[in-house]
Amino acid sequence: MKLSITDHRRDIFEKKYVYPVVSRRAKGLSLGINLNTNNACNWQCVYCEVPNLTRGKPEPIDVDLLENDLNFWLKEILEGDFLAKHTEPGTMLRDIAFSGNGEPSACPEFGDVIDRVLNQLELNHLNEKIIIRLITNGTHLSENYVQTAWKKILGKKEIWFKIDSGDLEKIKIINQINLTQNQIKKNLESAIQISPTLIQTCLIKMNGELPSDDEIQKYIDLIKPHEKKLQAIHLYSMARPSEQKINLKIERLTEAEINLIADKMKSLNVPISTFN
């Protein structure tokens, strides 16, 4: 079986915490770490591809098992024939990404997990060769345990910070969470303090409508004060179907529609990459 960008199931290789995926935005193979094995998240995004998603916190992590899983996959990829068997020619391991079935930074053992990941990078001579990424909705980034944990990473790292809209009313609908401008600002500044940070924005059509010009302007206004400190903005749409039951028709944008929105954001002094 070949991995593809349209199949990100976490369970096809029977390891609890670590799973390989081919990622369009990581531009290669990504080893995902799932800290939310109970499918619990503090948000409930309408496009979320996690089956049986519930609101809540992650269950306790078995950090020994997690490190064993990571060691297994690194050996398969670096010393075995996994890449040749399961990916297209030329695919390379690009990152280790905290990207699971919920918000990874909600995990109280986050610091211990980072220690184990750093240990495996050291043992497998991967320091400075691959990047550690945190794919996050940002809600716990100002908390001490996350700040302390992320600062331990002295090599390559990035935080991919989710902002799907600049309009708080739209955030309520898309992410099903009540946020204030100040909370978003505080979380984003907390990310920027500890890491190179980029914004990830999943664009969707709701009941046939694209994000309006007014909504795009609110997004620009939200990002503008931070633009000099951001690495990039990733604009994309759903790659896989939503697993959520919602009373809303949601659809992915075409490449041309994403590019049109990117064009409307060009007053932002941040590199914008689009993915289709």
Binding residues vs ligand SF4 (CB under 6 A): 41, 43-45, 48, 50, 53, 102-103, 137
The distance of closest approach from Cβ of residue 202 to ligand SF4 in the complex, given in angstroms and rounded to an integer, is 8
Structure tokens at 15: 């390891």
DSSP state string for 160-205: EEE---S-HHHHHHHT-----HHHHHHHHHHHHHHS-EEEEEEEEE
The distance of closest approach from Cβ of residue 95 to ligand SF4 in the complex, given in angstroms and rounded to an integer, is 17
Q: Is there a contact between 22 and 5 (Cβ–Cβ < 8 Å)?
A: yes
The distance of closest approach from Cβ of residue 61 to ligand SF4 in the complex, given in angstroms and rounded to an integer, is 17
Using the minimum distance from each CB to ligand SF4, give the nearer residue, 177 or 232: 177
Using the minimum distance from each CB to ligand SF4, give the nearer residue, 140 or 157: 140
> Reduced to 3 states, what is the DSSP secondary structure of residue 264?
helix
Using the minimum distance from each CB to ligand SF4, give the nearer residue, 43 or 161: 43
Using the minimum distance from each CB to ligand SF4, give the nearer residue, 20 or 102: 102
Give, in order, the Cα–Cα distances in Å from 40 to each of 8, 55, 121, 139: 17, 5, 28, 14
Distance CA 49, CA 101 (A): 9
What is the β-pairing status of strands 197-206 and 157-162? parallel
How far, in whole angstroms, is CA 203 from its chain's centroid?
Answer: 14
Distance CA 211, CA 164 (A): 10
Using the minimum distance from each CB to ligand SF4, give the nearer residue, 67 or 167: 167
The distance of closest approach from Cβ of residue 45 to ligand SF4 in the complex, given in angstroms and rounded to an integer, is 3
Using the minimum distance from each CB to ligand SF4, give the nearer residue, 44 or 124: 44
